[in-house]
Structure 1
């Protein structure tokens, strides 16, 4: 019969791939794919407990976005349960050319309001053709006669097509074919819901999220310039990935902590929404590497004996000293050679006492006077500046840290 129809969809997310493939085949054969509420909520009942924006955000816009995401344009909407009022009609008007409600309790189809009369009415009423709906095949045929006679479109809808009809919301294949055959034999045309409705309606344009960054690798404290190239949006939110955001994507931003951040721009226009991400790497500004130190005065000579290995890689280290007083002059000469080669000379406690254990039986001042200050004095007497201290045995606590901080 060369008949094509409209399929009104809820969420496709739980549908198997075979169903999605079948839907694509229907569309390729000329069928219209349209919206029916993302979660099939009763719109009027929903608005009794939710805002208008929540209805759009939870039921309408995700429904449109999912369908258009599969490449199917959306022109019409079938109200779940046929439930609508002036408020829902006004809310949905910008998003659909046609809104289909239900002409409940139809017995005599030709006396119903289920005709589109090419009057640009966005809201149309449909008659259910399911076998247990109350509209007989004969009544539907009378309705088709009037549609063809006056040049109207009779709006019909069904649910599940099945050879047998054990319950409600099912259309038998025999009744379906009788309707198609009768329409064809009478010279009628098969329309989509998107062919009806308000002809002056302009389909909203999808948004496109797009932005650039001046650099995707930046030092802490340096600015990254974001430039917006999105189209068709009326609102946007740029999440920098560091806990801060901006309501415009034309902005400069400074990252204060090293790390890898995902900047996400989300743009919307009340009809569609899209996001785009870019990765920003923030570094300290210093060259990465290692800090290698050698503990105890007794390791001066082994370090010097291997100086060629270090020199081969332009590597210099730190030597942490205890008392030099018992060291031979050759060790002191080797230490000086290391320092001349760029090595750091630092402190490690004059007598290599465990700091925490020492403070269990001595005062803080005794530790400074016996372990720290003589250690610094001896090293600086050899003209080596002292910048760091290596805890003997790695033993420390908040008290030792506070004592050595100056």
Structure 2
């Protein structure tokens, strides 16, 4: 495995870092200030976001994801990794480059499984950054880490499908630009276990779709993006809105979540890297008990452990990306599961040390550490909780030593 970056990636990396320094970091507070000046934080998207998106698009820093596709930048997962990491250093950055969840995952679904009509209507405006989307899979009344528990119904009625159910944590649903949801539900409870579910495209302005509320994360509302709780009451959409076909929902979910999981990990490494940088700068400026903080033994241990843990997570992420590129997402499922466990926990530890070094300032909104910690903590749950990935890893490991599966 060769993890060196091509000249193309090095150039993109340099340009992306310059853009972050010149435009993104200085405007993080501007973004929040514009939100707070509005009648509500959900009224509209801050002007600064659309301005920065236009700049990024003009500079060719746009749609850098989507490997093996004519729609993206033509980068492999491994090539995208360092770029996604840079974006993860700021919570507003991924959207600026049109590389934010859940849109990236939804665009990948449309590229892989969408009809030409579905691509024209929904994929193209998503790729252009004109609209946003949400992914409605998780349900409040089901242990949704097991997707077979999902009870939202998708029933065929002539030339239409009728959707009934309640979803929550539909990230992005609060955004005024969010126009389409990919909804997962059951269309045949009597089919084989993994062929009962389907996915369907539901425009959010369809009659019967109701946004009940947006859900805060540790007090952060993530406006204007938000995480919506949505009810679908006798919602009717054309039969052409089904993705791939009836009974394909579980398979689509597995295909969608692999890239989504590793993208989260890439961004988390960026968040941890920035936190370590902030920690190092802070402890060289502060003194306590007659000694510079950077000379305190415990602080030096924090710094050393953080560097070790970031490098370990980055290498495992690159290995997973390399395998996705060379042998496919399915064959790389063990590596994807491992990094999905490792990266969020690593980021939480590094960010927590930085918070500790900043003292009271660390838990305030004056620095981005608390917001990054809250975001990282959700990723021990999103796209499958740690426990599910560990269970999968244990099964894969045990299978190697299962005598009944071995041939003489």
- TM-score clears 0.5: no
**TM-score, scaled to structure 2:** 0.21
**Which has a greater percent of strand?**
1
Q: Please say which structure displays the higher CA radius of gyration.
A: 1
**TM-score, scaled to structure 1:** 0.21
Name which structure has the greater RCO, CA cutoff 8 Å, separation 6+. 2
